[in-house]
């Protein structure tokens, strides 16, 4: 599967250029196979992109701006949806690609998921009853900031 990124090589908009560079740079960093398709120099690319962006995803003027991302013939999204997927660490799902082996988001087989549920239920059965005092006590979590405490911590500044 090849990801198609529709872009404009001769865009006068700095914002569009930055968005295009962001998408291409991120795909390169992930080593995702993609094909940049220029809509500025190729009328066929422009028409294909405009026809295949879903109506509900088109702006009010009806003309989608680059970059637009497709997985073969399937529409993935525009820059904003790409950006959201990137922020959520869900780029592979956004692109319709399986995550690479060993990644955190690797799909879990149904049997493994059921085993995890069974393990959780087994742990719950072994738990001792909790008293009301323990239930109401707030859980305290210590946060380590990585910095040594300041010798002036707790000292009010001199104000004149």
pLDDT tens by residue, 69-117: 999 999 999 999 999 999 999 999 999 999 988 876 544 444 454 555 5
Q: What is the SS3 assignment for 7?
A: strand
Q: What is the distance between the alpha carbons of residues 141 and 64, in angstroms, rounded to a whole number?
A: 48
pLDDT cut 90: percent of the chain above it:
59
In this prediction, residue 102 carries a pLDDT of: 82
- The whole-model pTM stands at 0.64
Residue 121 burial (C-beta neighbours within 10 Å; 0-12, 13-18, 19+): exposed
| Residue ranges of domains in the chain, CATH in brackets | 3-95 (3.40.30.10)
In this prediction, residue 54 carries a pLDDT of: 96
Is the backbone of residue 143 left (phi > 0), alpha (psi -120 to 50) or beta?
A: beta
């Amino acid at each position: 599967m090849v990801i198609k990124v529709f872009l404009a090589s001769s865009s006068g908009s700095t914002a569009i250029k930055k968005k295009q560079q962001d998408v291409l740079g991120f795909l390169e960093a992930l080593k995702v196979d993609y094909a940049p398709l220029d809509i500025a120099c190729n009328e066929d690319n422009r028409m294909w992109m405009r026809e295949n962006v879903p109506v509900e995803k088109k702006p009010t003027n009806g003309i989608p701006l680059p970059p637009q991302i497709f997985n073969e013939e399937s529409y993935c999204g525009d820059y904003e949806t790409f950006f959201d997927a990137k922020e959520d660490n869900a780029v592979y799902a956004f692109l319709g690609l399986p995550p690479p082996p060993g990644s955190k988001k690797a799909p879990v087989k149904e049997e493994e998921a059921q085993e995890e549920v069974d393990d959780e239920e087994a742990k719950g059965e072994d738990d001792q009853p909790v008293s009301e005092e323990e239930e109401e006590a707030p859980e305290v979590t210590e946060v380590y900031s990585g910095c040594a405490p300041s010798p002036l911590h707790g000292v009010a500044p001199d104000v004149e």
